[in-house]
Amino acid sequence: MGRKLYIKTFGCQMNEYDSARIVDLLRATYGMETVAEAEQADVLLLNTCSIREKAQEKVFTQLGFWKGLKELRPGVVIGVGGCVASQEGDALRRRAPHVDVVFGPQTLHRLPELLGTALRDRTPAVDTSFPEIEKFDRLPEPRADGVRAFVSAMEGCSKYCSFCVVPYTRGEEFSRPFDDVIAEVAILAEQGVREVILLGQNVNAYRGVRNDGGVADLAELVRYVAEVDGIARIRYTTSHPVEFGDALIRAHVEVPQLAAHLHLPVQSGSDRILALMKRGHTVEDYRARIGRLLDARPDISISSDFIVGFPGETDADFRATMDLIEETGFDQSFSFLYSPRPGTPAALLEDATPQHVREERLQILQRRNEEMAAQISLGMVGTVQRILVEGLSRRNPKQLCGRTENNRVVNFECADRNLVGHILEVEITEAAHFTLRGRLAGGVVAASAVSR
């Protein structure tokens, strides 16, 4: 068909992964190539996020812009996927009638048919069902783009935290078969991928069926991914504290490729709020789990997500969150103002806390988190870090750019492009905000086993 595709992605890494797979799929089925500007495209796709109200509203603003494009070129086809599509279904087209195709996170593999209907018959097509198992079986082989790649291990979430839409928009937890995940990693590694980020809304709940009939957990998946030729670094995200057990802690000790970083969202440092959020654990449980990890790997950096201003959050609850932050010394964390989501139990809770108090709390928490992350960056000056080289530095072609295990970008003098995809030892010489500078300190630590 030779049509041109423009895809815009909002939201989490899972959406980024899904968008990459959509590109692979439409290239394989229709020979579509992506273009950098929406104005050049025949097919416009929006992969959406509904985790907070603001994210949801962005979708309709974007669709407003695209309406103008379609008026100029009526042949353009507009598709909306992701969590807003899943939540709204048909209703989305009532609010934005210029949308031709609506697909959910679990039906993106049906896009060729859905788009075919829209392109051929000029009739709209909507499919936001949850035929979980189908999706991965019907996607083509992934095409790598750089040395890092996301690989979905799990879809959906069955935790039903009282504030969260994910279980409704992405469906219940579903683990991809173990051997399929490993095969995808191997395909990516052959194309030069060195760092794999295993994805799931709740990835440490992974229970993948193996070809031999057994069931593997995330720790086992990590160990096997580490055995794939060329894989020099492994991360996984996002984890839930309840599923964070000793098997994973052992993997952090025994698997050298597993980065010394853990993103383990706690949301609040108050037991009362955690119970209202239905997180299924106490603050003490959380402390105990990361305590065990830090006993085994004292160098590990831990980041978290926080929700501020959950209904009924008092000053004392907020102080408890700040206390947990002080005591743990979290690195580069994310924090959000609570946003009531339609259909979630927390949306029914009364909240008497004035908006300005909630916003002040968020500011206090964000400022402290930033200070702590900056302190960690400063503390890295003078140390030698293992950097996975991702490419040339954006500003200076005589420099290479890579990432530390705790996810900081480092630029350092070296014009040897052949080092892209290798892990190097770099001494950190300077820390500015979240970008570090360094100089080569040693040789290559991990060379790629596969020719690139």
**Contact positions vs ligand F3S (CB under 6 A):** 157, 159-161, 164, 166-167, 201-202, 240
Paired tokens of 119: 């392109």
Residues 6+ apart with CB under 8 A from 163: 277, 307, 310, 338, 340, 341, 344, 346
Look-up: residue for tokens 């500011």? 363
Q: Based on CB atoms, which residue is closest to ligand F3S, 32 or 164?
A: 164
Nearest by Cα to 225 from 257, 247, 263: 257
Asked whether position 156 contacts ligand SAH by CB under 6 A, the answer is no
Report the sign of the C-alpha dihedral through residues 282, 335, 65, 38, in that order: negative
Asked whether position 341 contacts ligand SAH by CB under 6 A, the answer is yes
Asked whether position 267 contacts ligand SAH by CB under 6 A, the answer is yes
What, of ligand SAH, ligand F3S, none, does residue 310 touch, CB below 5 to 8 Å by kind? Answer: none
DSSP 8-state assignment for residue 419: G
CB of 176 to ligand F3S, least distance (A): 17
Which of 6, 10, 66, 163 touches ligand SAH (CB under 6 A)?
163
Q: Based on CB atoms, which residue is closest to ligand F3S, 66 or 244?
A: 244
CB of 279 to ligand SAH, least distance (A): 8
Asked whether position 303 contacts ligand SAH by CB under 6 A, the answer is no
Asked whether position 336 contacts ligand SAH by CB under 6 A, the answer is yes
CA distances from 239 to 21, 167, 254, 308, 363 (A): 23, 15, 19, 20, 25
Asked whether position 330 contacts ligand SAH by CB under 6 A, the answer is no
Phi, psi of 384 (to 5 degrees): -105, 125
What, of ligand SAH, ligand F3S, none, does residue 339 touch, CB below 5 to 8 Å by kind? Answer: ligand SAH
For residues 401 and 392, give the distance between their C-alpha atoms in angstroms, rounded to a whole number.
Answer: 6
Asked whether position 160 contacts ligand SAH by CB under 6 A, the answer is no
Q: Choose the binding region for ligand SAH from 133-141, 157-165, 318-326, 368-376 (rule: CB under 6 A).
A: 157-165
Q: Are 302 and 376 in contact (CB under 8 A)?
A: no
CB of 87 to ligand F3S, least distance (A): 14
Beta strands in 294-434 (DSSP E): 301-303, 305-308, 334-337, 384-392, 399-403, 409-413, 423-432
Q: Based on CB atoms, which residue is closest to ligand SAH, 67 or 272?
A: 272
CB of 194 to ligand SAH, least distance (A): 26
For residues 191 and 194, give the distance between their C-alpha atoms in angstroms, rounded to a whole number.
Answer: 9
Q: Are 404 and 431 in contact (CB under 8 A)?
A: no
CB of 370 to ligand F3S, least distance (A): 23
Q: Based on CB atoms, which residue is closest to ligand SAH, 130 or 306?
A: 306
What, of ligand F3S, ligand SAH, none, does residue 167 touch, CB below 5 to 8 Å by kind? Answer: ligand F3S
Asked whether position 113 contacts ligand SAH by CB under 6 A, the answer is no
Asked whether position 202 contacts ligand SAH by CB under 6 A, the answer is yes
H helix count then E strand count, the chain: 14, 22
Q: Choose the binding region for ligand SAH from 38-46, 112-120, 159-167, 350-358 (rule: CB under 6 A).
A: 159-167
What, of ligand SAH, ligand F3S, none, does residue 160 touch, CB below 5 to 8 Å by kind? Answer: ligand F3S
Residues 6+ apart with CB under 8 A from 242: 159, 279, 280, 281, 285
CA distances from 145 to 80, 148, 277 (A): 24, 8, 38
| Contacts for 432-436: CB closer than 8 Å, 24+ residues apart | 433/374, 433/377, 434/332, 434/373, 434/377, 434/408, 434/409, 435/408, 435/409, 435/410, 435/411, 436/377, 436/380, 436/381, 436/404, 436/408, 436/409, 436/410, 436/411
**Closest residue by beta carbon to ligand SAH:** 305
Q: Based on CB atoms, which residue is closest to ligand F3S, 208 or 265?
A: 265
Provide the mask over 218-237, with x wherever binding to ligand SAH is found by CB under 6 A and - wherever it is not: --------------------
Asked whether position 338 contacts ligand SAH by CB under 6 A, the answer is yes
CB of 311 to ligand SAH, least distance (A): 11
List of residues contacting ligand SAH (CB under 6 A): 51-52, 157, 163-164, 166, 201-202, 238, 240, 265, 267, 305, 307, 336, 338-339, 341
